[in-house]
Amino acid sequence: MYTLVSGFYKYMLRKDEFCVLILGLDNAGKTTYLESAKTKFTKNYKGMNPSKITTTVGLNIGQIDINTVRLNFWDLGGQLELQSLWDKVSFIITFTYFADKMISNENLIGVPLLVLANKQDIRDCMGVREVKPIFNKNSAHLIGRRDCMVMPVSALTGEGIDEGIRWLVECIKRNCDVRPPRNLEDT
């Protein structure tokens, strides 16, 4: 009887797991974005002080649970050694200039793309109105049928973090047949 109740309990609380790749140039704010997202969506998570965040060596991994979805974030650069991980990715967050390389990679065909115009808290930064035409000129022909969004954020202040994460979750709902989840109990 315990096994039956335990199995039912696990089934009811299971989460579908999706991998989200965060890419961008050095000092684009990838780790700060991940820390800000974890702080906003993970109960009792205090987060790192932004002044203590340094250059990422290798990769950072973070996890956020939203309802029945678990997002596993991989914060890494575009180093050739790490590109072998790309075929396991369900969704991509990129900080502007990496978009072309990402969407032209055959392992990522159809994978939704969230392009973040970060550092909106800085007075003279490029806004979405400046970023979007550049992105469209260089990458629109590669988008195909994937979901794609260009969004303003400030990883430092947290502005735009909620909207981006919620957009990802909505994409998960629309794209489960293309990139199915891994059930946590199957791993």
Binding residues, as ranges, are: 24-31, 56, 78, 118-121
Return binding residues for GTP: 24-31, 78, 118-121
Binding-site residues for Mg(2+) sit at: 31, 56
**DSSP bridge pairs for 22:** 75, 93
